[in-house]
Chain A
């Protein structure tokens, strides 16, 4: 089975720009979650998608938005980038319930630097 893949692995943007990060879920998983991890901190939950709809959101402003596609892949979009958005963005997939629920499979992340 394939794991979670994210792209791009690294990118540099300037303040005010917009960015789209992509994620392919692990085979058999139907839920995608996005996390932001600042240097030296634990991952912070941004939002979760299930059945192509947002299914829970953390304490992030509306300029953080996402999509889930029928094949369970996902995008994270961030508008009006700020310097504090510089972080590792992690995508994680899982099953919504049953055996394996509450076990997240993470990708390697996309490292975003905002200048």
Chain B
């Protein structure tokens, strides 16, 4: 399973766009990139998943370059409630579902 590297922490202000980049140099051909959000004393919550190019949902956008060795989670106009830990994971969609390796994640602090 591919290892990921992401910044330990980031600060932002309400209303700003936040971009969190994750490196995954050893990503395999059939790996997907998935981002989770976790609030204190809660389980991680799925945000977005992608394979290549750009994916957008009601919460975030995910940008994946052609070589797929990195990805960027973009959170538009963050609010205080977006303060959380964000995890980037890579893994394929079949037999090892659930065997995902979480790193330490990126702690995002949104300030007023």
- A contact residues vs B (CB 8 Å cutoff): 4, 31-33, 35, 40-45, 48, 55-56, 58, 88, 90-92, 94-98, 101-109, 111
- Please give, as numbers and ranges, the residues of chain B lying within 8 Å of A103 by CB-CB distance: 34, 46, 49
Given the interface contacts A42-B104, A102-B32, A103-B49, does A96 sit within 8 Å of B94 by beta carbon? yes
- The 0/1 profile, CB within 8 Å of A marked 1, for residues 37-56 of chain B is 00001111110010000000
Given contacts A45-B101, A104-B98, 18 further A-B contacts (CB under 8 A): A32-B98, A33-B98, A42-B85, A43-B44, A56-B98, A90-B44, A94-B98, A96-B97, A97-B97, A101-B93, A102-B34, A103-B46, A103-B49, A104-B100, A105-B46, A106-B45, A107-B43, A109-B42
Task: List 9 interface pairs A-B (beta carbons < 8 Å), by A numbering.
Answer: A42-B102, A42-B103, A42-B105, A43-B44, A56-B96, A56-B98, A90-B43, A92-B43, A97-B93
Q: Which residues of B contact A (CB under 8 A)?
A: 32, 34, 36, 41-46, 49, 85, 87, 91-105
B93 touching A4, Cβ below 8 Å = no
B97 in contact with A101 (CB, 8 Å): yes
> Considering only CB atoms, which chain A residue lies closest to B46 in the complex?
A103
Residues on B with C-beta less than 8 A from A106 are 43-45
| Chain A: CB-nearest residue to B87 | A42
A109's partner among B43, B85, B102, B105 (CB-CB below 8 A) is: B43
